[in-house]
């Protein structure tokens, strides 16, 4: 669990850094960054969905 969350935090920080730099990325790099950002958002959505349906109900059941 910690590895996935740490990796997402790291990559979102890198995304913020890449997009917030004084020199904007060139066209090809901007497209690659956008594609990766879309992938991360999709992964994050599915990751949280899995936690909501698979993890948290078990935790609530064992420790209401």
Whose structure tokens read 């060139």?
26
pLDDT at position 1 over 80? no
Q: What is the pLDDT of residues 27-63, one digit of tens each?
A: 898 899 999 999 999 999 999 999 999 999 999 999 9
**Residues 6 or more apart whose Cβ sits within 8 Å of residue 51:** none
Torsion sign (Cα): 41, 42, 45, 51:
negative
What pLDDT score does 13 carry? 94
The pLDDT, as a whole number, for residue 20 is: 86
Q: What's this model's pTM, rounded to 2 decimal places? A: 0.76
Three-point CA angle 53, 8, 31, nearest 5°: 115
Any idea what DSSP says for residue 64? Answer: -
**Percent of the chain's residues with pLDDT above 90:** 67
User: For residue 19, is pLDDT > 80?
Assistant: yes
Q: How many CA atoms lie within 13 A of 48 on its CB side?
A: 6
């Amino acid at each position: 669990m910690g590895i996935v969350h740490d990796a997402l935090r790291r990559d979102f920080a890198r995304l913020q850094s890449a997009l917030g730099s004084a020199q904007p990325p060139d066209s090809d790099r901007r497209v690659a960054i956008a594609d990766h950002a879309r992938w991360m958002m999709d992964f994050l959505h599915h990751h949280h969905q899995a936690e909501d349906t698979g993890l948290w109900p078990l935790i609530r059941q064992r420790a209401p």
